[in-house]
A = this chain, B = another copy of it.
């Protein structure tokens, strides 16, 4: 399952997309409009800023602004930042690889092969840009 954190993150970025990236939009406003718990959103926004998805402006009239154009932000980036791996088992993850404890031979593991296929099927969907998502 996608975490609420990730869902909120995507919603937030979609919201920022819709509102142009000229002026900063405050966490408060995003929280109200998108129905996201304010303090929880703050955490998410900080994480997105630290990963250079958006930048912040402090003080009154401050808020958050997307760094890149929506066409250059992929859904997969957001999900990886917030939720971690796309793959459903860690031994087929590109970005968060981990060996399975009990697995004796990765090369012949049938479960691994299946979930590798699965990951490859999922990736093209996750690779869509926020621009494409907006126009779905």
* Contact call B126/A110, Cβ cutoff below 8 A: no
Stretch at the interface among A44-52, A54-62, A115-123: A115-123
* Contact call A125/B136, Cβ cutoff below 8 A: no
* Contact call A114/B125, Cβ cutoff below 8 A: yes
Picked from B1, B34, B126, the residue with its CB within 8 Å of the CB of A89 is B1
Chain A interface mostly helix, strand, loop or mixed? Answer: helix
Give the residue name and chain of the B residue nearest to A14 (CB): B110
In the bound complex, how far is the Cα of B28 from the Cα of A90, in angstroms?
27
Known A-B contacts: A1-B90, A14-B110, A121-B121. Give 6 more (CB < 8 A).
A1-B85, A1-B89, A2-B89, A75-B114, A118-B122, A118-B125
